[in-house]
């Protein structure tokens, strides 16, 4: 396996929302980016997206050598892979397509080049099935948008080597990411499963008429979400336990929490529920555009992430 310092050119395979964000981030880190996507208009769309993301990356601080001019694009996959040192794949979330895509990338690249997938839910044990060198296939799942959010989930499949996982972890760390290594493969990995658990109860509360979509967004954004942005659920619970910490919390508030778990819902995405959710969000978006809301979100994210980076107490 390569040394992290020898990774100079990264292939970004698939340049949709996630791929474009990754490409911008890699460029801001001073890396060369070889991007590829077979969709018509993909190259132009990628350029527009990078221009849109660049001001936020500048505010974070560009690394030496950072330049949008280090981007090259080819619609041909194999051509785009020539001379790359690391691959970040962002193709459609379909197992059959991923297997074939990784088969092609594996055939085109020497065995030491890591093939990382941004897949939000697929298992690498399946994705690596048709590869000659399955030991170099890893998950490198970012959190959207990758050019701002530091989290990357890194895990291998059944045939992935420990060395490949370690190299991917080291590479993401070296470029300023916050990688974690799940101990087992599960659908959706860690962060998306935690999100899904919250979404499940949020949809249930709307379905049951307990709250509107706006009520739930306010409850999270101005309640626990503020604390979760600083530290995770377990450290927050530890603080909630006072001097006794999390042990005190579990002893004294564990039974009420268990009673809430027992009462959580299991909604089904019926047409009626989908319409109710959509109507609620449409009402929240009156007078706003997705692009303006996204820009405001990104501005706040930049400030918050910068503050966290300068804080040496909160992990």
What is the predicted pLDDT for the residue at 308?
A: 85
Cβ atoms of 155 and 182 within 8 Å: the answer is: yes
CB atoms within 10 A of CB 51: 11
Q: How far apart are the first and last CA of the chain?
A: 30
Q: What are phi and psi of 255, to 5 degrees?
A: -60, -45
Percent of the chain at pLDDT above 90?
89
Q: Please write the tens of the pLDDT for every residue from 197-238.
A: 999 999 999 999 999 999 999 999 999 999 999 899 999 999
CA distances to 210, 234, 245, 254, 263 from 259, in Å: 18, 19, 21, 9, 6
Tell whether pTM > 0.85: yes
Supply the pLDDT for residue 310: 80
Calculate mean pLDDT across residues 291-308.
89
Residues 6+ apart with CB under 8 A from 291: none
Mean pLDDT, the chain, integer: 94
For the chain, state the CA radius of gyration.
21
pLDDT-based confidence at residue 1 (cuts at 50, 70, 90): low
């Amino acid at each position: 396996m390569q040394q992290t310092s020898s990774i100079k050119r990264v292939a970004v395979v698939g340049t949709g929302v996630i791929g474009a964000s990754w490409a911008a981030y890699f460029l801001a880190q001073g890396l060369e980016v070889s991007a590829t996507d077979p969709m018509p208009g993909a190259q132009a769309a990628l350029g527009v997206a990078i221009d849109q993301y660049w001001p936020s990356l500048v505010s974070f601080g560009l690394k030496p050598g950072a330049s949008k001019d280090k981007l090259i694009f080819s619609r041909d996959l194999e051509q785009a892979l020539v001379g790359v040192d690391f691959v970040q794949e962002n193709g459609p979330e379909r197992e059959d397509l991923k297997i074939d895509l990784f088969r092609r990338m594996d055939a085109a690249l020497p065995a030491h080049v890591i093939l990382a997938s941004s897949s939000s839910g697929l298992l690498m044990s399946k994705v690596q099935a048709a590869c000659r060198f399955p030991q170099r296939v890893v998950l490198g799942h970012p959190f959207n948008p990758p050019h701002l959010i530091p989290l990357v989930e890194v895990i291998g499949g059944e045939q992935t080597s420990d060395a490949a996982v370690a190299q991917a972890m080291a590479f993401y760390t070296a470029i300023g990411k916050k990688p974690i290594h799940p101990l087992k493969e599960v659908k959706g990995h860690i962060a998306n499963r935690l999100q899904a658990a919250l979404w499940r109860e949020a949809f249930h509360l709307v379905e049951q008429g307990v709250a509107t979509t706006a009520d739930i967004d306010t409850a999270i954004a101005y309640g626990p979400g503020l604390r979760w942005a600083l530290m995770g659920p377990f450290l927050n619970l530890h603080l909630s336990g006072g001097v006794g910490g999390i042990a005190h919390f579990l002893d004294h508030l564990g039974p009420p929490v268990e009673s809430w778990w027992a009462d959580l819902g299991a909604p089904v995405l019926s047409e009626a529920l989908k319409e109710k959710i959509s109507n609620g969000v449409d009402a929240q978006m009156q007078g706003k555009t997705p692009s303006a809301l996204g820009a405001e979100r990104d501005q706040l994210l930049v400030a918050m992430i910068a503050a966290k980076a300068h804080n040496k107490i909160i992990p």
